[in-house]
Structure 1
């Protein structure tokens, strides 16, 4: 038996500002709610980046509702937009707070903001800002994670990392955060910090110093429980598996995804080269072996990690790839919404978003900005369009797809992803099902047969934001 794997775009939304983070609400009854955060370095009237000691970074928080209404109706409805400081990360608390979903947001002003989802008079819902906590002066809040990944609502805490290399732990009291501890964890930017969902006294952090570290809050932050240099470049993604104890996934600018057993951090269980720089990793909310990766210069991929978690030392095979974004792949998340119906037919007259190709000829020079420095690089052509940097594509034939059991169920998933320079949010579905009589796994890597549920306008690239090929465009 072989497998048929297919991704299909459902809708594309222009966020206007550069999009870098998306999160579906994990709280029951609100699974259809999606949040998207954006980041933009403000420019002057002449189009140049404003020169100041503190650059002006602006953002916008979007709130959407997903509702399946047939093939011709876009399923995504915008409920709200809130102008904010530039957003680098958003995460929903996995359990309700005061009976409602609570969204945490890390901003470029060094704040952690909390927004409570409330019912509105028109029968819909909207976000209300309920608190804001500063991590410290002259820093950007780069990431955040909740301790509630397995649904534990006792002693709710937040961990955040920042551009000063610090890790910050805060406790939740009603709907406000109280600082519990802060320490210097990395020599440069601490791109990511995350809880072990199985033991929330354990925290992992990754930084631009190429180090992955572990911390035990019971013994204090004076010394990490381990320091790994297995990644060869900055560590920017960490996610604890909420279904499999001890399993941890990490990603880096070195274009590799590593799987770890938390009881032995000397050597990873598996190492997978997937290209592009791995900015975000997300375990599936129900299937413990499926891992979603946002790979900056190399699109979005779904990895099958079952054999690696069971002791196979080979890389994790890629089951599917979503390649319809025209720019840097940053935010990605799985939805818990059930997709029991078959994929909708292609809407009549809807065009597919074309993949922009670099134009022949000269190019413009733009500022490619990181949280801590700016410098020039060539990323736009004469028409102002983003030029993707050439990245070796991983060969899907290099890793044999998994052999499914005869009684393995089909999988249909709803996902969201966003990309930076083209400021686009995509909502898409992935179907993975047994295919009788096949000889090869039907892995979809082109995305060229996908239909969009609305106009995927190619955005003019007038941003002057970004960073190096080995530092986040944030």
Structure 2
């Protein structure tokens, strides 16, 4: 069966500071709550050797169904913080409240609870914080609760000193359980195996992907993979399929792995931009969302790869309306059945960056401001040296079906981009061609 894929922009919000992390709340009944984190590097005030400072802000929004003429996103709170490198909600309530974790440029892991006033308004309230190390940036965090297991709530955090830390959350307080040197340079990402939370994965700027078993201690990794050719910056365990892991890198590849055999990936998919974040769909096991820095946001369908096909995962849709580095992206669990889009469909560009002959320019810095090396065209899209620009249109996917044989699929997503400091809320509809034709005939 052929399927028709369509994205629609619902709202765009200017975050003022560079936006790099966005997360929908996974805890019911708060699926309409969205958090967005920002990171801004401020140069020293005119002094040549002045140390730059990093500032940030967290925004809290609510998505409301108020009709097609009303912007669906309502700002509930904005709070100035240290610069935010990553933020993630705990998948389960802690003491009956949703908890948001933030990795900051001060080397702290900060936790906030989602509170509700008597008037019904939501806000973030500080719960706990802990410094993972002096003179370093906390770069990422992941919760052990990805399969909705609340029996042992822990956090893994990586930092710019190449270290990985595992912390516990008990009675509202953070405690460091272990910390070790995991990578030679920045440890961009760390993540739990949601199926066995004694297993932790980490990726760093040394181009290595590593596994760790907390039961035997961090003295040596369970594996070291050099399959990625550049820094490893995204890892996500599939909460629906045991042993399945997705990783992404500055080398522009998404690799799918079976954790029982880390010698060779199940599949390799080139995406034309450094893969900064990967998110499996909260309920559809084959759908993977990728934020691709220099090449927009894409949704991959991974069914064939997970069933043994060695080919690349097809792209079922792309969201191309950001004009800068694609950093943060997330799926919402909120139903869209009763909500009508209030803006026209996104359209693909008529020509690629190479065809437009826009001049190249240097305009990129890593989140830790450690290098400045990439090329972009006038549209803000990356063009690797010596290679043609990647195609922007997704490949046709004529034979794939959504999970559970659903008649159609409608998803709410959020994404954010860096230099243009923009947050986008958008929807993706995936419908059988037959159903589309029948609706047009009615």
TM-score by length of 1: 0.84
Counterparts in 2 of 1:162 and 1:117: CA distance versus 1, 3 Å = same
The whole-number CA distance in structure 2 between the counterparts of 1:18 and 1:253 is 20
User: What residue in structure 1 maps to residue 266 of structure 2?
Assistant: 269
User: What residue in structure 1 maps to residue 181 of structure 2?
Assistant: 184
The whole-number CA distance in structure 1 between the counterparts of 2:192 and 2:429 is 30
Point out 4+ residue stretches in structure 1 off by more than 2 angstroms. 43-46, 50-53, 341-347, 350-370, 372-381, 386-392, 394-409
User: What residue in structure 2 maps to residue 17 of structure 1?
Assistant: 17
Would the aligned equivalents of 2:235 and 2:248 in 1 still touch at CA under 8 Å?
yes
User: What residue in structure 1 maps to residue 248 of structure 2?
Assistant: 251
Counterparts in 2 of 1:165 and 1:74: CA distance versus 1, 3 Å = same
- 1:14-53 equivalence runs, <5 A: 14-44=14-44, 51-53=49-51
Would the aligned equivalents of 1:316 and 1:399 in 2 still touch at CA under 8 Å?
no
Counterparts in 2 of 1:263 and 1:78: CA distance versus 1, 3 Å = same
- 1:346-361 equivalence runs, <5 A: 346=343
- 1:72-471 equivalence runs, <5 A: 72-341=69-338, 343-346=340-343, 368=365, 370-371=367-368, 373=370, 387-390=380-383, 392-394=389-391, 400-404=397-401, 407-436=405-434
Q: Secondary structure at the match of 1:368?
A: coil
The whole-number CA distance in structure 2 between the counterparts of 1:437 and 1:153 is 41
The whole-number CA distance in structure 2 between the counterparts of 1:329 and 1:166 is 25
Q: Secondary structure at the match of 1:436?
A: helix
Q: Secondary structure at the match of 2:91?
A: coil
Give the number of equivalent residue pairs: 430
1:257-305 per-position Cα deviation (integer Å, ceiling 9, x unaligned) = 1111111111111111111010000000000000000000000000001
Shift of 1:318: 0.4
Counterparts in 2 of 1:296 and 1:117: CA distance versus 1, 3 Å = same
Counterparts in 2 of 1:12 and 1:345: CA distance versus 1, 3 Å = closer
Counterparts in 2 of 1:120 and 1:41: CA distance versus 1, 3 Å = same
The whole-number CA distance in structure 2 between the counterparts of 1:186 and 1:150 is 28
The whole-number CA distance in structure 2 between the counterparts of 1:365 and 1:287 is 39
Q: RMSD of the TM alignment (CA)? A: 2.9
The whole-number CA distance in structure 2 between the counterparts of 1:150 and 1:331 is 22
- Out of 23-32 and 430-439, give the one that drifted further: 430-439
Q: Secondary structure at the match of 2:3?
A: strand
The whole-number CA distance in structure 2 between the counterparts of 1:38 and 1:10 is 21
1:57-101 per-position Cα deviation (integer Å, ceiling 9, x unaligned) = 000000000012111100000000110010000000011011100
Would the aligned equivalents of 2:65 and 2:339 in 1 still touch at CA under 8 Å?
no
Unaligned runs of 5+ in 1: 440-474
Would the aligned equivalents of 1:357 and 1:387 in 2 still touch at CA under 8 Å?
no
